[in-house]
Structure 1
Amino acid sequence: MTQHRKRNKNLGLVELIAIALGGMVGGGIFTVLGISVSMIGSLTPIAIIVGGLIASLAAYSYVKLGLYYKDEGATYSFFKHTYPNSSFSASAIGWFIIFGYISTLALYAYTFSSYAISSSDFANNIWVRKGIAIAVIGIFTFINIWSVNGMGKIEDLMVYTKLVILTIISIILITHGNTDFGTFVENMSVDFEKSNMFSILIVASLTFVAYEGFQLVINAVGEMTNPKKNIPRAIYSAIALAILIYVVISIGALFAIPKEEIIKNKEFALASGAGTVLGNIGTNLVILGALLATSSAISGTIFGSSRQMSVVAKDGYFPKILAVRKNGSPQNSIIAMALLACILITVGGLELILEFGSVTFLLVSLLMAIANYKIRDKTNSSTLITIISIIGLSIGGFLILYYEFTNEWKQMLVILLLYALLSFGAWKFSKN
């Protein structure tokens, strides 16, 4: 048994950072970029930094709980162990977080296919786009089933290559754009007068969504070396790198691309801007970076969320067959995650599903902070930092709900309906 465990502990710090960054930098930043620029213009980098600080507050409780429980069930298991007498609450948390991951997995694959065919004659063919999205999920499902170590090495290659590409593109945009640093600072001053702090905080809360994925590190606790050191190092390093990447991307876009074009094109604004500066080479380079970004996000999400699904199923809150493992790998859960994501892609409405995943991510982060506060003596957590985390995440949740109700109230009602359906499923399984 000891030899088996040693043989399977293949994920070091480099792989763990790659898994976290793979889950975070997956295309969401480009959507957030368009929304942010439309609301606060050149102040977007500031909102991105604040969003990263909020994510760091959320990460604090995840790190403390992860080191204390050392359970790959992560969010679900932390809540279950902290509140052992509430089976429905544990089941509901399990259902919410798993379906949140399924929604983001579907969106990553859909974004991959959109970029992949953006320059072809099939760019507007919805079924070709969906077919490619399903195919790419199939590829990374096979890789995750095939080898944990193989997945880790491929994730390393994709993540660090995409970081280099996106950084190069952003620096080129900054140095070759029509806006210089002095003009950019002036634009920030003008936008600050037009906007208010409330708008900046709303955008920061929406930007928080782009940091979803750092929790995937904890899902790999059974397959990592030296969890005590590598969990906090991997999570905080990944968030810091994500903040840096997002800020550089946003500044590059604002230097080289007119605000109107960023707002109009959203996900493809960076490709358009690079195309203006570098021609087809720039456009193709951005597309390559986007494909690597979404690929690593797909792989990291399948890896982490499937292990969490297996833990939930083992406790009886999902069908028991999803708890079965082969050589330590939750292959049935991996396949189930992939199939459910493919169904979402086929049905459509991914933007709505993404909003559900976003709200879920912030909600469960708040619940983790509350759970950590309850056992702060056991997790050796700072009372002050934990309280600040609870307050910050509560404000962020309120601001997102406020934004949704004032801008997309119909969409918010559908999200609430989805929560009701998932709550019913969680209740049925918790009864048994």
Structure 2
Amino acid sequence: MPSKHPSRSCHRSRGKTLGVPELIAIALGGMVGGGIFSILGISVALVGVYTPLVIAIGGVLAGLAAYSYIKLGVFFRDEGGAYSFFKRSFPASPFAASLIGWWVIFGYISTLALYAYTFSSYAISGFGFADDEPVRKLVAGGIILVFTLINLWSVRGMGRIEDLMVYTKLVILAIVSFVLIDNGEASLPTLLEGQAPVGLLAVLIVAALTIVAYEGFELVINAIEEMDTPERNIPRAIYAAIVLATLIYLVIGVGAILAIPFDELIANKEYALAAGAEGILGDWGTELVIIGALLATSSAISGTVFGASRQMAAIADDGFMPSLLARRSGHIPVAAIVCMSSMAFGLILIGNLEMILEFGSITFLLVSLLMAWANLRMRDRTGASAPLIWLALVGLLLGTVLILYYEWTNEPRQLIFIMGLYLALTVSARLFSSDRRSHRR
């Protein structure tokens, strides 16, 4: 999926040069959100001790997806991200721009729902109603409302709050991970001996599902107006951030499977780390895990509302979404913020963690596929390697097919709902692109 926070860099002062360390921090702030907390329990349930392996494969897949974003970002030098890249790669096709615009925005909405759902799961994990689904969804809606109001209130206030959350969460996650590893009584060889057979297909399916945890590296491209030598700094920052995020996820994953019994991780997959940490780390450890999860998901929610609402307003301003969504109060796209927050809460009400996770993963894979396609079309101008583009296309397409196959064999009704949603998005994109073309005539 394109950048969760396409304009997060806006709260930085214009004219300030961002170096590679700052750009890496921006990317990690977006990537290390609620994804790792969402996928951990699901991954252990499906592949057990191979969880670190699927995390690593997911990182490789993210690197392949990033290749086209980097090439297109350096060539176009446009803060608009995937939507702008695709629109400019296919200027004669309003439908192409409209389609990716609709997919991009609903990808953001699904990730917003995912992070809010995960926030809620950890926030109530210490209470007797931790498994009460209506309460969980109500709390998820509440946290979306909080950050919606913050974004409506003050861009500066949002930026200061988010900076604090980003840096604090990275420190907490590092502490928790190493403490878990240090207190783990099991070893990987022992766990492998006791692991039930896991097929390659299952490993690849879960690896595809983990891709949503890597969404956010595109933030670097959105800061292109605030950096020197983007042709050098963009690839360095994005690839470094993906490697660092993969290492962070690996440490968390290894710590969890070494220290926490699998049955606890699986039984409480919505808040797997908090549920299992108490017996290992005691009350203080559990509280630290919960604080880390709440900070991680909060920063992701805040940035998603901030950046995605502005991209929604830009798409509406181009005529590919209802014109109401382009309205702003000052620089704040009030209608877009309210609309996307409301739709995210609606998705939470009708779905569950797995459905939201899978829709988000599929959307990120599909949009990354379109970026690879655009890069293939523009490769003579971007200087991209055709073999690398084709490798990315194959990997991303395989990941998409595997998730759809998993849905078909395990949750066919859920798949029908997801496909119906994509059909509705595609029809909406066609209607708005046709309407825009008729107005031009």
Shift of 1:310: 2.1
User: How big is the shift at 1:324?
Assistant: 3.9
2:188 maps to 1:184: yes
Deviation of the 1:5 alpha carbon: 12
Work out whether residues 165 and 298 of structure 2, in 8 Å CA contact, stay in contact via their aligned partners in 1.
yes
1:116 — aligned with what?
123
Deviations 1:260-319 (A, max 9, x none): 222222132211232111211111111101100110110121232123212211210112
What are the residue-to-residue correspondences of 1:157-176 with 2, within 5 Å? 157-176=164-183
Alpha-carbon distance in structure 2 between the residues aligned to 1:42 and 1:110: 25
**Matched residues in 2 for 1:29 and 1:6: separation?**
27
Kindly indicate whether the alpha-carbon contact (under 8 Å) linking 2:210 and 2:361 is maintained by their aligned counterparts in 1. Answer: no
Select 2:278's aligned residue among 262, 275, 279.
Answer: 275
CA 1:339–1:202: 2 relative to 1, 3 Å: closer
Q: 1:62 is matched with which residue? A: 69
Provide the C-alpha distance between the structure 2 equivalents of 1:8 and 1:329, rounded to a whole number of angstroms.
18
Match of 2:90 in 1: 83
1:124 is displaced (CA, Å) by 5.1
- Counterpart residue type for residue 426 of structure 1: A
Corresponding residue SS for 2:268: helix
Does the Cα contact within 8 Å between 1:11 and 1:152 map onto a contact in 2?
A: no
Which residue of 1 is the match for residue 148 of structure 2?
A: 141
Task: After TM superposition, give the deviation of residue 77 of structure 1 in Å.
Answer: 1.6
Corresponding position of 1:213: 216
Residue matched to 1:340: 343
2:259 alignment counterpart = 256
Native 8 Å contact 1:105 1:301 kept in 2: yes
SS in 2 for 1:318: coil
Matched residue count? 424
CA distance in 1, matches of 2:102, 2:68: 21
Residue 33 (structure 1) aligns with: 40
Deviation of residue 348 (structure 1)? 5.0
Distance in 2 of aligned mates of 1:133 and 1:230: 37
Q: Which amino acid aligns with 2:87?
A: K
1:309 partnered with 2:312: yes
Unpaired runs of 5+ in structure 2?
1-9, 436-441
**Secondary structure, aligned partner of 1:279:** helix
Hey, what's the Cα distance between the residues in 2 that align with 1:429 and 1:360? 20
CA distance in 1, matches of 2:12, 2:247: 35
TM-score, normalised on structure 2?
0.87
Root mean square deviation of aligned Cα: 2.7
Does the CA-based 8 Å contact 1:19-1:155 persist in structure 2?
no
**In structure 2, C-alpha distance between the alignment counterparts of 1:34 and 1:97, rounded to whole Å:** 27
Aligned mates of 1:281, 1:159 — CA distance in 2: 21
Q: Deviations over 1:153-199 (max 9, x none)?
A: 432321221121122111111111221xxx312433664x8233333
Deviations 1:348-395 (A, max 9, x none): 556434422221110110111111011112112222222221122122
CA shift, 1:102, in A, is 0.8
Match of 1:23?
30
Q: Which moved more, 1:142-151 or 1:285-294?
A: 142-151
Whether the aligned pair in 2 keeps the contact of 1:72 and 1:311 (CA below 8 Å) is no
1:140 partner letter: F
Moved more, 101-110 or 287-296: 101-110
CA contact (8 A) 2:125 2:274 kept: no
Counterpart for residue 3 of structure 2: none
Residue 241 of structure 1 corresponds to which residue in structure 2? Answer: 244
| Identity level (%) | 57
TM-score (norm 1): 0.89
Counterpart check, 1:101 vs 2:108 = yes
Return closer, same or farther for 1:352/1:53 CA change in 2, 3 Å cut-off: same
**Deviating more after overlay: 159-168 vs 135-144:** 135-144
> Contact 2:328–2:334 (CA<8 Å) still a contact in 1?
yes
Change (3 A) 1:122 1:162: same
Q: Is residue 171–residue 252 contact of structure 1 (8 Å, CA) maintained in 2?
A: yes
Aligned to 2:411: 408
Residues 113 and 186 of structure 1: CA distance in aligned 2, closer, same or farther (over 3 Å): closer
CA distance in 1, matches of 2:260, 2:45: 13
Out of 356, 362, 366, the residue aligned to residue 363 of structure 1 is 366
How far apart, in 1, do the equivalents of 2:11 and 2:348 lie?
A: 37
Take 2:415 and 2:28, find their aligned partners in 1: how far apart are those partners? 28
Secondary structure of the structure 1 residue equivalent to 2:319: coil
Alpha carbons of 1:190 and 1:279: their partners in 2 closer, same or farther (altered >3 Å)?
A: closer
User: Which whole-Å CA distance do the structure 2 matches of 1:242 and 1:231 have between them?
Assistant: 16
Q: Any stretches of 5+ residues in structure 1 without a counterpart?
A: none
Using the alignment, how far apart are the partners of 1:10 and 1:329 within structure 2?
A: 22
CA contact (8 A) 1:217 1:304 kept: no
The residue number in structure 2 matching 1:51 is: 58
